[in-house]
Amino acid sequence: MQPQCESLAIDVSALAPRGKLKRGKEAVACNLCTDTIQADMFNWNLHPASKIFENCPVCESRPRYRTLDVIFAKKVVPSLVNPKDQLSALVMSGTAWEQSILKKTFINIVNSCLYGDYGEGRIHADLRDLKPFDDQTFDYVHASGVLDFILEIDKVLTSVYRVLKPNGQFLFHILSHRLRDDDSPPTVEGTKRETYYPEGVVLPSIMYGKKDILRRMNQHRFSSEMVEMIDPFSGEHCTWFWGQKI
Ligand SMILES: [Zn+2]
């Protein structure tokens, strides 16, 4: 199967690119809270443009959540095969915003993270083995901002494939500045440490080749598609990888 790549446009008529908003009078809308915001509402000294445009000043959503809402509706939902009341999802390190988007479709959501607290009922699972979960448990696995800190992508693809039901889907996001346009294998470019990590834990900071990711997805028997979007609200480039178990 050939890897695919496409760009999706956010279908919100009131959205305007960053350049227009900078001129001061035109309205933009956030597709998550659907609030339309007049640029001159803001005190530009208190709210530097970069801060405003990165996170929605009304709902505080990030660019990747706004693009997730679109990709989820256009890609994931139409590809679900099981009855709505039987759908279950595994969300890795999902924020409240991500969970609120997924809850519109999934009745059963299992929250998992290795470190930190992402809400009630979370399970501490490592995406490289997903040991707490049985084979063919989930219709969908979601990982945004997780592979950014895991070098062993092959282990991830093996474990996700295992826990997915037939035709199950894996959607993951990696920050654009971590992605090369080539087929180079993942490399460690630095380290990351947050205060909520256990004592002594330092995570590697990873760079990926986009084509290498798509090739590995195919090797692990996923369909592979890269979906690149410009979030009109922020102008930020967001890259998602979507695969369906085949
Ligand atoms: Zn908003």
- What residue ranges define each of the domains in the chain, with the CATH number in brackets? 62-244 (3.40.50.150)
Q: 29 CA to middle of ligand 1, Å?
A: 7
Q: 118 CA to middle of ligand 1, Å?
A: 21
Convert the pLDDT of each residue in 35-56 to its tens digit: 665 544 444 344 444 445 577 8
Q: 58 CA to middle of ligand 1, Å?
A: 5
Q: 11 CA to middle of ligand 1, Å?
A: 15
Question: Is the separation of the CB atoms in 246 and 25 below 8 Å?
Answer: no
Q: 114 CA to middle of ligand 1, Å?
A: 29
Q: 66 CA to middle of ligand 1, Å?
A: 8
Convert the pLDDT of each residue in 75-116 to its tens digit: 999 999 999 999 999 999 888 889 999 999 998 999 988 876
